[in-house]
Amino acid sequence: MKLCMIGTGYVGLVSGTCFADIGNQVYCVDKDKNKIDKLNSGISPIYEPGLDELIKKNYNANRLIFTTDIKKAINSSDLIFICVGTPTKKGSLKVDLSFVYKCSKEILKHSTKKKIIITKSTVPVGTGDEIEKIFKKKKKLFNVISNPEFLREGEAIRDFRYPDRIVIGSDNKNKFKTMRKLYSPLISKGAKFFTTSRKGAELIKYASNAFLATKITFINELANLCEKTNINVEDISLGIGSDTRIGSRFLRAGPAYGGSCFPKDTKGLVSAAEKYKTNLSIVKSVINSNHRRVSLLTKRVHQILGKNLKNKKISILGVTFKPNTDDMRDSTSLKMIPYYCKNGAKVSYYDPSGEKKEFKQIKNCTYKKNIKENCVDADLIILLTEWDEFKSIDFKKINKKKNLKIFDLRNLYAPEEMKKNKLQYYSVGRPNLN
């Protein structure tokens, strides 16, 4: 089939490449010339395991085309996927749909024959209806379908190839057939193909993300109680997660949830509910609780290093919101690092996905090239993201300070081991053995 992905970001690039890999011809369009130039010279603009090889393979086979020429891409394709960003509007809970509407207008302008328009971007319930209004002048040419994307950064290729489910929302049942054909290589390997109304599909995506965010927030709040009562939160996770009605995933205590989806989608869901005069009080609480968690864990450093952070050397390991991605959107580090620097600490950080532009202008914050260089003279090491290379560090070997302190927000190490090694170790929701 001939496809066009409008927006070559995390979703457009990964799904476009994977669609090409199952035999389709895919145009990946972006308005960002720099991104397209990079891709055409063989460099992926994002860090995603396995993606570089897959891009190269399909690019060389002429199944994958990167371009800024939206007109040509639209004219050469039958299925047009909208994969542009849907961020939160500044100072509000509402979703900024301007990118979606702008590219819908471009589709209208450049289309001369029938097209199926598919929203992969996460959009509030009713957005498909609004897109249809944009197309009303050439109504007969377009069918608007919702096909929300569920891939996770860091595991995106696997998630595309083996999805838990493929959700297709359409009010025109005939179009399910085309989508089933497109996804047939995945369906034949066992992926569940789930069809519903267009609005239903739009809401499923928000409801999924809000539910997962609720699980994380729930266990994070229980971790606070565990700390006060000397209970290990991991026992609680296991104890409740073994109940198949609950499930064990997304029940690991740690920092606030971040990334490009949960923070904005929980807000977007509350905002949609308000539009329809419904009170999603649970999701509102989740947003507030997550917000409090960022400052709670950031300020816990005072319990470890004292009130005065001046000239204290804090070394952070991992600054992205999760491992195996370079995505910094809504990461806890964006609040933590400026706070410590503002309070006089000398902060250094290392992240396997490289230096971050977000910290370049911050005084007293430096990027280090590896774990050892980052931690050698630290007073406190903060483990913020669970990249594999942070899971078996010999702290004694890389830092000779007698009273080295470690704050592990991902519970990567056993407190008993750390105590045996005479390290002052702090984690989340577990008894403090210091």
Ligand X SMILES: NC(=O)c1ccc[n+]([C@@H]2O[C@H](COP(=O)([O-])OP(=O)(O)OC[C@H]3O[C@@H](n4cnc5c(N)ncnc54)[C@H](O)[C@@H]3O)[C@@H](O)[C@H]2O)c1
Residue 7 touching ligand X (CB under 6 A): yes
Shortest distance (Å) from residue 47 CB to ligand X: 12
Residue 103 touching ligand X (CB under 6 A): yes
Residue with Cβ nearer ligand X (7 or 415): 7
Shortest distance (Å) from residue 31 CB to ligand X: 4
State the binding string over 16-55 for ligand X (x if CB under 6 A, else -): -------------xxxx--x--------------------
Query: Considering only residues 39, 66, 85, 142, which one is a binding residue for ligand X as defined by CB under 6 A?
Result: 85
Query: Considering only residues 3, 9, 208, 390, which one is a binding residue for ligand X as defined by CB under 6 A?
Result: 9
Point out which span in 80-88, 165-173, 296-304, 343-351 binds ligand X (CB under 6 A): 80-88
Residue 65 touching ligand X (CB under 6 A): no
User: What residues contact residue 367 under an 8 Å CB cut-off, 6+ apart?
Assistant: 348, 349, 350, 355, 356, 359
Query: Considering only residues 10, 19, 27, 47, which one is a binding residue for ligand X as defined by CB under 6 A?
Result: 10
Residue 86 touching ligand X (CB under 6 A): yes
* Total interface residues for ligand X by CB under 6 A: 26
Point out which span in 2-10, 125-133, 283-291, 348-356 binds ligand X (CB under 6 A): 2-10
Structure tokens at 342: 């503002």
Shortest distance (Å) from residue 259 CB to ligand X: 7
Catalytic residue among 261, 341, 365, 375: 261
Query: Considering only residues 149, 227, 234, 330, which one is a binding residue for ligand X as defined by CB under 6 A?
Result: 149
**CA terminus-to-terminus distance, the chain:** 61
Q: Report CA Rg, the chain.
A: 23
State the binding string over 215-254 for ligand X (x if CB under 6 A, else -): ----------------------------------------
Neighbours of 277 (CB within 10 A): 6
Cα–Cα distance measured from residue 156 to residue 161, given in angstroms and rounded to the nearest whole number:
9
Shortest distance (Å) from residue 424 CB to ligand X: 36
Query: Considering only residues 84, 233, 380, 398, which one is a binding residue for ligand X as defined by CB under 6 A?
Result: 84
For residue 378, with 0-12 CB atoms within 10 Å meaning exposed, 13-18 middle and 19 or more buried, which class applies?
buried
Point out which span in 97-105, 109-117, 358-366, 372-380 binds ligand X (CB under 6 A): 97-105
List, in sequence order, every residue forming a beta bridge with 84; answer none if it has no partner. none
Residue with Cβ nearer ligand X (43 or 61): 43
The label of the residue with tokens 């105590």 reads 419
Residue with Cβ nearer ligand X (262 or 425): 262
Residue with Cβ nearer ligand X (31 or 56): 31
The answer to whether residue 83 is catalytic is no
Helix (H), strand (E), coil (C) string for the chain: CEEEEECCCHHHHHHHHHHHHCCCEEEEECCCHHHHHHHHCCCCCCCCCCHHHHHHHHHHCCCEEEECCHHHHHHCCCEEEECCCCCECCCCCCECCHHHHHHHHHHHHHCCCCEEEEECCCCCCCHHHHHHHHCHHHHHHEEEEECCCCCCCCCHHHHHHCCCEEEEECCCCHHHHHHHHHCHHHHCCCCEEEEECHHHHHHHHHHHHHHHHHHHHHHHHHHHHHHHHCCCHHHHHHHHHCCCCCCCCCCCCCCCCCCCCHHHHHHHHHHHHHHCCCCCHHHHHHHHHHHHHHHHHHHHHHHHHCCCCCCCEEEEECCCCCCCCCCCCCCCHHHHHHHHHHCCCEEEEECCCCCCHHHCCCCCEEECCCHHHHHCCCCEEEECCCCHHHCCCCHHHHCCCCCCEEEECCCCCCHHHHHHCCCEEECCCCCCCC
Residue 8 touching ligand X (CB under 6 A): yes
Restricting to residues 113-142, name those near ligand X by CB under 6 A: 121-122
Cα–Cα distance measured from residue 37 to residue 431, given in angstroms and rounded to the nearest whole number:
52
Residue 169 touching ligand X (CB under 6 A): no
Residue with Cβ nearer ligand X (212 or 362): 212
Residue 151 touching ligand X (CB under 6 A): yes
Shortest distance (Å) from residue 104 CB to ligand X: 9
Residue with Cβ nearer ligand X (305 or 328): 328
Restricting to residues 267-296, name those near ligand X by CB under 6 A: none
Shortest distance (Å) from residue 298 CB to ligand X: 24
Residue with Cβ nearer ligand X (264 or 405): 264
The residues annotated with a catalytic role in the active site are 261
Q: Where along the sequence are the contacts to ligand X (CB under 6 A)? A: 6-12, 29-32, 35, 83-86, 99, 102-103, 121-122, 149, 151, 153, 260-261
